[in-house]
Every structure is written in C-alpha cells, then in structure tokens.
C-alpha cells in the first residue's frame, strides 16, 4: 500500500470530502481525468497529492501507473484558525478558518482478492399439490388479556405500543 499525505490544506474538510468521494475506489487514470476537469477548488490539491502518490509508487515500489487504484482517501479536520470580526454594539463575531488533512493510499489491482463466484439458484417447476405441501406453515400463538380475550399473532407489543393498543372503546 502506497500512501501520500497532505497536511493543513486551507480548505474546510466538508468541501474537500465532496471531491474525495468522487474518486474513491477509482483507477488512477480515471481519477486523474475526473480531478482535471472538476470545477471544485479542492480538486487541484488532491490532483497534486495523487500525482505524488503515483510518483511514490513508481520510485519506491516500482509499480506501473496503469495497475494502480485508489484504495482509500481520508479527509480529516486539521487545526482551526479562529479570527474575529467587529459586529454591532461593541460585540465581536467569530470566524472559523478550517483546515484539512488528506491521506491517500493506492494499491495495485492484481493484489486484490478474487470475489467468490456467485452460484445461480435453480428453480424447479412442481405440480400444484407438491408446491402447496412444501410451503412452510406459520404457527399462530394466542394470548389472552384481563380486559377481553383478543387473538394476537406473534409477540405481544412492548413499551409504548402496549399503551396505544389498550384504549377503551367509545
């Protein structure tokens, strides 16, 4: 797993997560195209971070760019800069200038574990008598209350539901 980090990006994490969600799980080539043509401000630093992670993969692990995909991209809140703005009647309003930390990790596509093969369920057509006999029958349970004898299927209601269903007739 190849990682690259970007600390203290002067953009709020909420805005960066919008772009990060776009490319999560994509192949590197597709993600690069997506970021290049995105209109979001956060796409430029994420593209730089992606290029840095690709360079790390080539230099340190000798991996080809075509086989890489974005395994995870995590956006966390960084330090918040607190500033003040003068308001009416001698008051001050707080301005929160948020920062982000981004952690991007790449993996090679060939290393992924193969998913188990899905087996198709085969259905057989039975005559009506056999089909009806194979349907499981549900057991009905009966309960009585002190007010009146009522037939209740399944479990008796608990908590707030008990009170709602014990109303008197008008």
Q: Give the pLDDT of residue 117.
A: 63
* Nearest residue to 99 via CA among 68, 73, 77: 77
Q: What pTM, to 2 d.p., does this model score?
A: 0.63
Q: How far apart are CA 78 and CA 5, in angstroms?
A: 12
What is the model's pLDDT at position 165?
59
Task: Give the orientation angle of helix 13-23 with respect to helix 28-36, to 10 degrees.
Answer: 130
Of 121, 25, 12, the residue nearest 76 (C-alpha): 12
* pLDDT value at residue 59: 93
Per-residue pLDDT of the chain (170 residues), as tens digits, is: 899 999 999 999 999 999 999 999 999 999 999 999 999 999 999 999 999 999 999 999 899 999 999 999 999 999 999 999 999 999 999 999 999 999 999 999 875 444 556 667 666 676 766 666 666 666 665 555 544 444 444 445 455 555 555 666 65
What HEC string does 121-140 produce? CCCCCCCHHHHHHHCCCCCC
Give the pLDDT score at 110: 72
CA distance 28 to 65: 7
Q: Using alpha carbons, list the distances in angstroms from residue 75 to 3, 12, 14, 79, 104.
A: 13, 10, 9, 13, 9
What's the rounded Cα separation, in Å, for the pair 132 and 130?
Answer: 5
């Amino acid at each position: 797993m190849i990682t690259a980090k970007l600390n203290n990006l002067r953009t709020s994490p909420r805005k960066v997560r919008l772009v990060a969600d776009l490319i999560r799980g994509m192949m590197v080539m597709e993600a690069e195209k997506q970021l290049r043509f995105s209109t979001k401000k956060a796409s430029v630093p994420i593209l730089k971070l992606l290029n840095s992670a690709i360079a790390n993969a080539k230099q340190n692990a000798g991996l080809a760019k075509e086989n890489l995909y974005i395994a995870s991209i995590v956006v966390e809140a960084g330090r918040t800069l607190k500033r003040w703005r003068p308001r009416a009647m001698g008051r001050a309003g707080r301005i929160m200038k948020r920062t982000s930390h981004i952690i991007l990790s790449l993996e090679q596509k060939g290393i992924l574990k193969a998913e188990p093969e899905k087996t198709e369920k085969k259905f057989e057509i039975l005559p009506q008598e056999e089909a009806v006999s194979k349907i499981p029958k549900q057991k009905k349970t009966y309960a009585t209350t002190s007010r009146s004898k009522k037939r209740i299927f399944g479990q008796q209601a608990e908590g707030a539901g008990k009170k709602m269903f014990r109303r008197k007739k008008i």
